[in-house]
Amino acid sequence: MADLELIRGLQTAADSKILLLVLDGLGGLAIQPGGPTALEAAETPNMDRLAAEGIVGLHQPVAPGITPGSGPGHIGLFGYDAVRYQIGRGVLEALGIGFDLQADDLAARGNFCTVDANGRVVDRRAGRIPTEKCEELCRELQKLQIPGVRIFVEPVREHRFLLVLRGEGLVEGVAETDPGHLGSPPLKPVAESPEATGTAEMIGRFVDDAQERLAGHEPANMVLLRGFAKLPEWPTFPETFGLRSVAVAQYPMYRGVAKLVGMDAAEVGAAREDLFTTLERVWPDYDFAFVHVKDTDKAGEDGDFDRKVSAIEGIDTFVPALVGLKPDVILVTGDHSTPAALRSHSWHPVPFLLWASTCRRDEVERFGERWCLKGGGGLCRSEDLMPMALAHAERLAKFGA
Amino acid sequence: MADLELIRGLQTAADSKILLLVLDGLGGLAIQPGGPTALEAAETPNMDRLAAEGIVGLHQPVAPGITPGSGPGHIGLFGYDAVRYQIGRGVLEALGIGFDLQADDLAARGNFCTVDANGRVVDRRAGRIPTEKCEELCRELQKLQIPGVRIFVEPVREHRFLLVLRGEGLVEGVAETDPGHLGSPPLKPVAESPEATGTAEMIGRFVDDAQERLAGHEPANMVLLRGFAKLPEWPTFPETFGLRSVAVAQYPMYRGVAKLVGMDAAEVGAAREDLFTTLERVWPDYDFAFVHVKDTDKAGEDGDFDRKVSAIEGIDTFVPALVGLKPDVILVTGDHSTPAALRSHSWHPVPFLLWASTCRRDEVERFGERWCLKGGGGLCRSEDLMPMALAHAERLAKFGA
């Protein structure tokens, strides 16, 4: 794999445009032995035409056998090695609910939990309290004050919340307070380096104050914190690839990951059509657009094979409109597989199609896992897709004389 | 990929011989949608027979999406990771014109440029002066003297020249003097480390003296220097692979890259037949021969699809003579793709065929990109080919007990 520095050094100015269409969780499995996957079963005449004119292949997120979460899945598609470029838990939690993290913020993933009279954890998830209760308790904790920092406590779902400390001099490197098992008291937030001492003290004070405030709110009478993280300082996507870049995504997580790497995020309405009307609106101002479709993943997570087929077929009807925008390169793929048969993300390689006038055509004329296996794109790593797309857009100079 | 140390440790003595035939820029694209590439269109009964009896595949130079120059393209074929083993610009320039670099030499790529009365660069290429003018000015600069070093100033083409300083204690790590844009004076050659101070001073003196000598030679009244580099100290090819190795190549660049990794370079006449008579002559003395054919690349660079087809067909007629030398392994491939449709090197994977009695045959019976996609060699990295060739020559021991 080429590293980001190498790619950046080879940037060439061009007018070409690249469209990345991500059907979340696109890859699948058959639901009966020897049967088709959802993508194979779907009638996709428009994507099939792109597949026939371009190349297809499979990409492997993270590493063989690894099932990626949404963050690493997209980080790979954006050209970053997902093992090297890991997003901290706290930051992922913030992205997931669309919290607008600032450069100085320290974020953590929080759980409400239950402790007994001796302070020992007896339920790490506080009986999975309803989200409404979580919201109420977050409002309580939001009132806590710690000198020198601003506190944000945002509900996520059930017992989960986001804690953000905003202030100067906050550092990562504070150990989690979750003991990981029952019967022990929560751990102290220990500084893992001398620089983190002040930060650890502030977190310790928050935990103490939170426990006091939560007294009587059983089962949610204590908090556990982990994944203390700040926004990473990575090479940005627009700088690395030389592309004015925009995300067109309806879910906070995907807008968030895109913003994390420096893309703009367009305002999008909630209907599926809004994705495409928004893309049409912002397209003239950008060289690269990432369009994110969630339905495919949701159907897979729900174990609903037929709905996944329908979701894919629904997107296919929009493909002519995408082609009508005249992108020079179109890349259609998923961030990972979500087979309905497994009702979850999976490690299986993900089908992709890459369409451009500079493709060396393969002989594949349909878009689907079994055909991708015979395609000109081979079995590559997710992070290879962006350099390939850039190359086909004729935006990369020769390496060496 | 296996690294060079690993391969070296597994060397086994054998009498077997390996022939690497490089058709420069072999890979291509169709010139009409769905049509054949030049290799697919060419009538190549002899290479097809080798393909049928051996395995075929595609190799990816440098990394997916990356278009290699001639240097990195060959470095990969020779088994070296082209990103890790980068040849400095100045050294490449020396190889390209066949300058015999010594271990202590410091080479740089030079441009004649134009500066205005205030010393600001107004044309970084001095109006692309004719090569004859470049030769004349190089003769002038060749007369400059700097205590402690010998100076070589060799014309390359148009405004480009090669500067070599020969002497003890010269080090790399001097910043380029090209400001990269117009309107600023050339930069001073700044030492990037304390050790480079003396070298930077010598270069500064050369630049000052050159400017004085070039006064009145507008538009070529100043020089810009970049890519200061010495011969790299790499593991050699003969030591790494345990092969007495020779290059049979007509162009200085390819002889130069081969010598850079420690191969011998045979004397070759200019006619195409000379390649093969030379190979025949030196073959008994070596275990490995690298034969380089340039015509395929030139036709691609010229955008001449039909001439590329003819060049491939012409080489095919020599294949029986190659087989007649009884090599144990024959590897036929290119260093990169040069599609006539793009008139340049490109990033597309490169077809290869590997013929040996130890091949596990695939079902492919023709040599061409679309058939290679289905071959037993898969889509591999360029630097994997040498270990594969060594293995098929039964020159690699078992790894681990």
| Identity of the amino acid at A113 | C
Cα-flanking dihedrals φ and ψ of residue B46, to 5°?
-75, -45
In tens, the pLDDT along A314-332 reads: 999 999 999 999 999 999 9
What pLDDT is stored for residue A2 in this prediction?
Answer: 60
Q: Give bridge partners of residue A114 from the DSSP assignment.
A: A123
What pLDDT is stored for residue B96 in this prediction?
Answer: 87
Q: How many helices (H) and strands (E) does chain A have?
A: 15, 13
In tens, the pLDDT along B146-205 reads: 998 999 999 999 999 999 999 999 999 999 999 988 999 999 999 999 999 999 999 999
What parts of chain B have a pLDDT lower than 50? Answer: none
- A337 has pLDDT over 80: yes
Three-state SS for A227? strand
State both tokens at B243: 């092969």
Q: Who among A389, A391, A400 is closest to B86 (CB)?
A: A400
Bridging pattern class, strands A329-333 and A18-23: parallel
In tens, the pLDDT along A222-268 reads: 999 999 999 999 999 999 999 999 999 999 899 999 999 999 999 99
Cβ <8 Å between A399 and B369: no
Q: Which residue of A has its CA nearest to B95?
A: A401
- A401 has pLDDT over 80: no
Interface test with A, best of B260, B364, B373 (most A CBs within 10 A): B373
Q: Who among B33, B65, B86 is closest to A384 (CB)?
A: B65
Distance from CA of A347 to the nearest CA of B (A): 21
* Residue numbers in B near A7 (CB within 8 A): 65
Residues of A in CB contact (< 8 Å) with B are 1-3, 6-7, 10, 53, 358, 360-363, 374-376, 378-380, 384, 386-392, 396-401
What does the DSSP assignment read for B65-97?
Answer: TPPB-HHHHHHHHTT--TTTSPPPHHHHHHHHT
Cβ <8 Å between B63 and A361: no
Distance from CA of B72 to the nearest CA of A (A): 6
Q: Who among B62, B71, B370 is closest to A401 (CB)?
A: B71
Three-state SS for A150? strand
In tens, the pLDDT along B113-122 reads: 999 999 999 9
Cβ distance A158 to A109 under 8 Å? no
Cβ <8 Å between B373 and A396: no
Q: How far apart are CA B40 and CA B366, in angstroms?
A: 8
End-to-end CA separation in angstroms for chain B = 20
Q: What is the 3-state secondary structure (H, E, C) of B253-270?
A: HHHHHHHHCCCEECCCCC
What pLDDT is stored for residue B272 in this prediction?
Answer: 86
What pLDDT is stored for residue B401 in this prediction?
Answer: 79
* Residue numbers in B near A401 (CB within 8 A): 69-71, 89, 92-93, 96
Cβ <8 Å between A2 and B370: no
Q: How far apart are CA B356 and CA A102, in angstroms?
A: 61
State both tokens at B91: 């050294």
Q: What percent of chain B has pLDDT over 70?
A: 100
Q: How far apart are CA A121 and CA A293, in angstroms?
A: 40
- B130: preceding bond cis by omega (within 30 degrees): no
Cβ <8 Å between A398 and B67: yes
Q: How far apart are CA A367 and CA B131, in angstroms?
A: 53
CA dihedral sign of residues A360, A362, A365, A370: negative
Q: How far apart are CA A202 and CA A170, in angstroms?
A: 9
Q: Which residue of A has its CA nearest to B62?
A: A2
Distance from CA of A358 to the nearest CA of B (A): 8
Cβ distance A77 to A397 under 8 Å? no
Cβ <8 Å between B66 and A362: no
Distance from CA of A2 to the nearest CA of B (A): 6
ipTM associated with this complex: 0.90
What pLDDT is stored for residue B190 in this prediction?
Answer: 95
| Measured CA distances, B242 to A89, A345, B15, B233, B398 (Å) | 50, 48, 11, 18, 16
Phi-psi region of A51 (alpha: psi -120 to 50; beta: other; left: phi over 0): alpha
- A1 has pLDDT over 60: no
What pLDDT is stored for residue B180 in this prediction?
Answer: 85
* Residue numbers in B near A386 (CB within 8 A): 65
Cβ distance B127 to B187 under 8 Å? no
Cβ <8 Å between A378 and B378: yes
E runs forming strands in A232-383: 245-248, 264-265, 288-293, 329-333, 350-356, 378-381
Side-chain-side CA neighbours of residue A6 (13 Å): 22
What does the DSSP assignment read for B104-146?
Answer: TEEEEEEEEEEE-TTS-EEETTGGG--HHHHHHHHHHHHT--B
Cα-flanking dihedrals φ and ψ of residue B173, to 5°?
85, 40
Q: How far apart are CA A135 and CA A123, in angstroms?
A: 19
pTM: 0.92
Q: Which residue of B has its CA nearest to A378?
A: B379
Q: How far apart are CA B161 and CA B145, in angstroms?
A: 18
Distance from CA of A331 to the nearest CA of B (A): 14
What is the spatial order of strands in the sheet that A55-60 belongs to? A264-265, A245-248, A288-293, A18-23, A329-333, A350-356, A55-60, A378-381
What pLDDT is stored for residue A96 in this prediction?
Answer: 87
In tens, the pLDDT along B329-341 reads: 999 999 999 999 9
What pLDDT is stored for residue B83 in this prediction?
Answer: 95
